[in-house]
Amino acid sequence: MNLHAFHSSIYLAALCMLAPIGTVRGQSPSTLASNPPLQYPETKMLDVIDDYHGRQVKDPYRWLEDTESEETAEWIAAQNAVTNRYLESIPSRAMMRKRLEKLWNYERYDLPKRKGATYFYTHNDGLQDQSVLYKADSLEATRQVLIDPNEFSDDGTIALAGAVPSKDGKLIAYALADGGSDWRTWKLRNVASGEDLADVVEWVKFSGIAWKPDGSGFFYGRYDAPQEGQELTGTNENQRLYFHKLGDDQSSDTLILERPDHPKWGFSPEVTDDGRYLVIQNWKGSEPKAQIFVKDLRQGDAPVRPLITGFDAEYEWVASRGDTLYFVTDNEAPKRRLIALQADNSDRDAWQEVIAETDDVLESVSLFGEIFYSSWLKDARGKVTRHSIDGSPTGEVELPGVGTVFGFEGPQDAEETFFGFTNYVTPTSIYRVELPSGDVSLWRRPEVALDVEDFVTEQLFCKSKDGTTVPIIVTRKKTSKLNGSNRTLLYGYGGFNISITPSFSPATAAWIDGGGIYAVANLRGGGEYGRQWHEDGMRLKKQNVFDDCIAAAEYLVEKKYTEPERLALQGRSNGGLLVGAVMTQRPDLFGACLPAVGVMDMLRYHKFTIGWAWATEFGSSDEEDQIDNLLSYSPLHNLKPGTCYPATLVTTADRDDRVVPGHSFKFAAALQEAQGCEHPTLIRIETRAGHGAGTPVSKRIDEYADVWAFLIENLK
């Protein structure tokens, strides 16, 4: 989630000094004394009206969708100037950035991978803009730098977006992301020499790679090169699956699968450990339902054959044993199960259930030898069980606490695997699992400059508007008093089958250490309780998500964790939509709102980049039966002139090609026009950044110094 907050007990005095003493909520005495009312840049309004199935809808800020125009660039510069002046006037901002920098300065590792005789893992010493990929002969051997993305750009905005070693560990394919874009350029490096090969594979998006076991090349999905000037806004359709042979130019890559009759289909490749089969997950849109194709790699001219068709459920490939393929699926099991089927038999009657559905949600399964390791969610908290090859339970992995667990990757004949564990007060620690015994030992545990023993995490449950029980995970200092006086940050997402589980951020921990309360609501639309939980927050049921969030906020107020003037709401991407919808429906419930890289125009989102894929989640304005529902909550279309909205800081980035920044531009302009009181309505537009992944550490620190300064200034 990568939330970051202001920090530690040294802020307590500063927070007290910033408490308002006048009639204007949200401005400190220092701000009121020194600054005149905010003067926003004038944003022109055009006479643009669209007809949606007989409904006339104005779109006066349509011109801001052209994010590459000179006129939009001038608007961005003017808005950033106003925002920067405001943020720089906050007395605690500079001190806050120093504190953030100190707290971010701790070591971070990812899970080691062993290929051949070499271990690969990334490490960040704390303040490096990008983590460095290392190689080593053993887990404790002296490591050597293999790829340092910090050397690729002066400002740290070229990120290492993927790294996949060949089976023998002699080569590594690595992906670069430029300035936050979703586009990936893949290159190859000789692990022993550290030199790059000539191979370059471009215009890859929404696809990983899958090596052939012999290291002769890899499979990948790509799109056609976009038209000049539309790299960050053009629609992404007609993905094709290719095989790249080492040493060949990309123009010679072998086409494996394309479906021009279905331009919205995409393909994700996997190769079985024994190299016998290419397993292709075929997706369309953002809904997790998939089809599966297979290709017998023992026969070079073997066709790609459909194995599972109909897009009726999720199917995630796990492993193979000979001709038997294992998949995690929610077919006939809303909370998922593990099934086995034969690679040459598409008859569903022949499927065999290996691990049955339970009351918990099955997240993932890995196979080592003849033991399955299964990861589950129980009320958004992780657990891991072991099962024999026939699915019989053989025990549970003892975890270091209540939180999120991930990992258990590696080849089926591995002698070891690794997992990471984290929660809101525990930095990600890496554990080694010895196979086949299952013995667990700690490999790396970072140290942070916080006494997390002073924190407590509790899970609450509130009732939504329709009576549905919604969990809220709250983390706070043990000494905090539940008397309504606490600054509280509520975070939500609620969509795309994504589960929001506990994870550590130095900023979030410091928000708590500084006396704030941090609450995460597990809203419908996510994956925390399986397929039905997701579907109850989709399309015509999307309002359930907003009702859940409102219920969580009201519950925190009712139970005296906070009060509306001291409550902030934050969300990113689909969570940015959540914030925009909730603040327009209940502006009285929050003192401040932080919509980040949000989907704000629900009538036109599908016209840019991969936005069309979200129609399975939201519905689109092209569908007459969806238009009234979209208009009922679309943040851009529900701002009412003269309404007093909470203090709002919209954040986005100029190179976001997932949720294009035009969403945030239009919403911010409309909010400034509609605002009926003196609460600030600002937009912060980051440069050389995208949707979030790969953002340099220095930019993240800058952003959250600004964001939390804004909250301090505007929460009573």
Q: Reply yes or no on whether the pLDDT at 487 is more than 50.
A: yes
Task: Provide the residue range defining the domain that includes 23.
Answer: 9-102+452-714
Query: Among residues 377, 412, 447, which one ends one of the domains?
Result: 447
Q: Among residues 594, 596, 681, 683, which one has the least CA distance to residue 643?
A: 681
- In this structure, the answer to whether residues 589 and 489 fall within a common structural domain is yes
**Do 50 and 144 have their domain in common?**
no
Beta strands in 478-562 (DSSP E): 488-491, 517-521
**Cβ burial 345-363 (10 Å sphere, 16+ → b, else e):** eeeeeebeebbebeebbbb
* 311 and 372, same domain (yes or no): no
- Check whether residue 618 and residue 524 sit in a common domain: yes
pLDDT at 285: 84
pLDDT by residue (tens digit) across 660-702? 999 999 999 999 999 999 999 999 999 877 777 788 899 999 9
Residues 571 and 647 in one domain: yes
Query: Who contacts 416 (Cβ-Cβ below 8 Å, separation ≥6)?
Result: 114, 410, 432, 433, 434, 435
Does residue 251 sit within a domain? no
Q: Are residues 677 and 564 in the same domain?
A: yes
Query: Which of 447, 481, 511 is the endpoint of a domain?
Result: 447
Residues 521 and 615 in one domain: yes
Say how far residue 658 (Cα) sits from the centre of its chain.
11
- Kindly tell me the sign of the dihedral angle through the C-alpha atoms of 543, 565, 664, 495: negative
Same domain, 496 and 622: yes
pLDDT-derived band at 35 (thresholds 50, 70, 90) equals low
| pLDDT beyond 60 at 1 | no
Look at residue 518 and tell me if it is in a domain.
Answer: yes
**Are both 474 and 619 inside the same structural domain?**
yes
Is residue 429 located within the same domain as residue 475? no
Catalytic residues: 573, 691
- Residue 199, domain CATH: 2.130.10.120
Q: Which residue from 625, 11, 531, 509 is spatially nearest to 313, judged by alpha carbons?
A: 531
Evaluate whether residue 256 is within a structural domain.
no
Q: Is residue 96 pLDDT above 90, yes or no? A: no
pLDDT digits (tens, 9 = 90+) for 513-559: 778 999 999 999 999 999 999 999 999 999 999 999 999 999 999 99
Q: Is residue 266 part of a domain?
A: no
pLDDT for the residue numbered 17:
25
The CATH number linked to 686 is 3.40.50.1820
Candidates 249, 269, 293, 250; CA nearest to 206 is 269
Give per-residue pLDDT as tens, 116-132.
999 999 999 999 999 99
The answer to whether residue 254 is domain-embedded is: no
Q: What is the pLDDT of residue 19?
A: 25
Report if residue 263 sits inside a domain.
Answer: no
Total number of domains constituting the chain: 4
pLDDT band (50, 70, 90) for residue 155: confident
pLDDT tens per residue across span 297-338: 999 789 999 999 999 999 999 999 999 999 999 999 999 999
395 residue type, one letter:
G
Reduced to 3 states (helix: H, G, I; strand: E, B; else coil), residue 370 is: coil
Stretch (H or E) spanning 629: helix 627-633
Residue pLDDT, tens place only, 630-655: 999 999 999 999 999 999 999 999 88
Residue 10 has pLDDT above 50, yes or no: no
Question: DSSP 3-state assignment of 95?
Answer: helix
pLDDT value of residue 415: 96
Inside any domain, residue 679: yes
Q: Does one domain contain both 319 and 362?
A: no
Domain edge (last residue) among 356, 372, 399? 356
45 and 86 co-located in one domain: yes
Whether 265 maps to a domain, the answer reads no
